[in-house]
Structure 1
Amino acid sequence: MNRLEVWAPDGLPEVAEGDDLAAMVASATDLRDGDVVVVTSKVVSKAEGLVRPGDRDEALEAETTRVVARRGPTRVVRNRLGLTMAAAGIDASNVPAGTIALLPRDPDGSARRLRSDLLRRTGANVGVVLTDTAGRAWRRGQTDIAIGAAGLHVVEDHRGRTDPHGHDLRVTLPAVADEIAAAAELVQGKLAGRPVAVVRGRSDLVLPADVAGEGATALIRPEGEDLFGFGAREAVVRSLAGEASDRAPFGATAPATELAEAMARVPLDRVAVAAVCFAHGWSLESWSDDGTHAVAQVSPAGP
């Protein structure tokens, strides 16, 4: 029988800049080897002095590397950490009025330091996950995800294995760090003042004390691997504009057969063909149209 325990201690004090998070966690928990300590990124930001006056709109530009999608006042962006989040993860909740909390500058680094400090204080070899809340592209609502991790396998790679029915597993890659983050949020709550949780029962995921692991950064898709690098409206505008700096989010150059299939679905005019080429990683080199026949010369755009 497999059993997972998740709990969040009450009574942690309000965190302020310079506070010793490891001391707070150690005093509120009874840690064992193989536990996973889950901490909201908000309290890490507070301890690291990343709460400052202002509002989200004022801070958004500096935290953004590119806009992914807009819907009214909502902007989903790829932020400086590579995460795709609404408002770049800037948060105005659970902080004093008129202030905002930025995400930790190096979440994996923060997780490594906390893990090391907990080992020194408690003698327990634990994994650490830093969490934040994010939406999902195809579903309503939000859930917590891992934005930082240390001493933990962040994925379980089942690729190459065989299921009980003999089927080869080719793409099965559970994001266990995100699953741990979501489980912890169930007991932490958003308004209960419980920013720390302990997950017990998956010691197989915890790495040796001298191994930090690849961190939550490994969960972020590199630019161009995400099938939804732009929102639907933004993708149309970006492909029509055809700026070279926008090529990466559209991904690798598509095969010529795929480009031809796409071109067969649009009006045969130069603007439409150029946009389709751009979106597929190609360039329209020349175009001629005598009113009866249209001829396009294209070439791969390259990196």
Structure 2
Amino acid sequence: MNVSMTLTALQGIPLIRPGDDLGEILWYALMSNGITLQDGDILVIAQKIVSKAEGRLVNLSEITPSAQAEELARLTSKDARFVELVLRESRAVLRYRPGTLIVEHRWGFVCANAGIDHSNVEGLYGNPEDWVLLLPEDPDASARRIRAALRERSGVNLGVLIIDSHGRAWRLGTVGVCIGVAGVPALVDLRGHPDLFGYQLRVTQVAAADELAAAASLIMGQADEKRPVVHVRGFPYPLRESSFSELRRPEEQDLFR
């Protein structure tokens, strides 16, 4: 049996502004790219346009750093106002050194700087260097809203992933990872399934949402490509309800803490 999966970057996505209706924008982008949604299709969406639409822009000139932020800024050589935002978005600071601040985000994943970013961020006024972008307030809820809007228009069962670029504890470089999901299995449990020789798998769980996020991130790009949305057809697992929590490793099992 031939198995294939097609990933298509949507062209013509406009620059997203606070308050924009992403569901409507994506619907018209699909039509202009000649794509008719089918059952089982998935849209993979860069976190940045979701955050922009939700108005998650912050101007550092309006942030007053705490004493903790001031101290961490001294230790990491970062702007204390930026560090203050990182602390507000985090459950805990896990590691730091000059130039690096690793935290547990309040949604449970570990990342640098709580996902707060300067790149490809256009401010509303003042000094452009003072503007940063936070992750969506609730990435799962964002994914659910976009999915519902597209399901209402198309009448098909589709999935939505919201992804970001994260580093990994044991490898160099960043990869695309899922931070919000709706209608796509985040984790596929293959324990109990036989391998080629009839041996029952005992520990295999597939981070299917992360694998798809990494594939989509390859064609999205990381700089000025303007490809923040990827349409996916042929995902090899059945769609189902899920949430990011499926991917979160319990703290007592995390050997990198």
Residue 140 of structure 1: aligned partner: 172
What CA distance in whole angstroms lies between the structure 2 residues aligned with 1:77 and 1:25? 32
CA offset at residue 203 of structure 1? 6.2
5+ residue gaps in structure 2?
A: 61-80, 123-127
Residue 101 of structure 2: aligned partner: 75
Show CA shifts across 1:34-69 (max 9, x none).
Answer: 111000111111111101112632411211211111
What CA distance in whole angstroms lies between the structure 2 residues aligned with 1:157 and 1:203? 14
Residue 5 of structure 1: aligned partner: 6
What CA distance in whole angstroms lies between the structure 1 residues aligned with 2:163 and 2:82? 19
3-state SS in 1 of match to 2:137: coil
Show CA shifts across 1:194-235 (max 9, x none).
Answer: 11101110264323xxxxx23122101123221112xxxxxx
CA offset at residue 168 of structure 1? 2.0
What CA distance in whole angstroms lies between the structure 2 residues aligned with 1:129 and 1:205? 15
Matched, 1:157 2:189: yes
Residue 152 of structure 2: aligned partner: 120
TM-score, normalised to structure 2, is 0.84
Larger Rg: 1
Q: Aligned letter for 1:79?
A: H
Residue 117 of structure 2: aligned partner: 91
**Which residue of 206, 218, 230 maps to 1:197?**
230
**Which residue of 218, 224, 227 maps to 1:186?**
218
TM-score, normalised to structure 1, is 0.71
Show CA shifts across 1:151-172 (max 9, x none).
Answer: 1111221101110112221111
What CA distance in whole angstroms lies between the structure 2 residues aligned with 1:91 and 1:179? 23
1:56·1:92 contact (CA, 8 Å) conserved in 2? no
User: What is the number of equivalent residue pairs in this alignment?
Assistant: 224
CA offset at residue 89 of structure 1? 0.8
Please give the root-mean-square deviation of Cα atoms over the aligned residues, in Å.
Answer: 1.3
3-state SS in 1 of match to 2:173: strand
1:115·1:126 contact (CA, 8 Å) conserved in 2? yes
Q: Aligned letter for 1:173?
A: Q
Higher relative contact order (CA 8 A, sep 6+): 2
3-state SS in 1 of match to 2:253: coil
Pair 205,92 (structure 1): closer, same or farther in 2 beyond 3 Å: farther
Q: Percent sequence identity over matched residues?
A: 43
Residue 38 of structure 1: aligned partner: 44
What CA distance in whole angstroms lies between the structure 2 residues aligned with 1:204 and 1:221? 22
CA offset at residue 17 of structure 1? 1.0
Q: Aligned letter for 1:187?
A: I
Matched, 1:228 2:256: yes
What CA distance in whole angstroms lies between the structure 2 residues aligned with 1:85 and 1:46? 20
What CA distance in whole angstroms lies between the structure 2 residues aligned with 1:140 and 1:57? 24
Q: Aligned letter for 2:238?
A: L
Q: Aligned letter for 2:185?
A: H
CA offset at residue 95 of structure 1? 0.3
Residue 218 of structure 1: aligned partner: 246
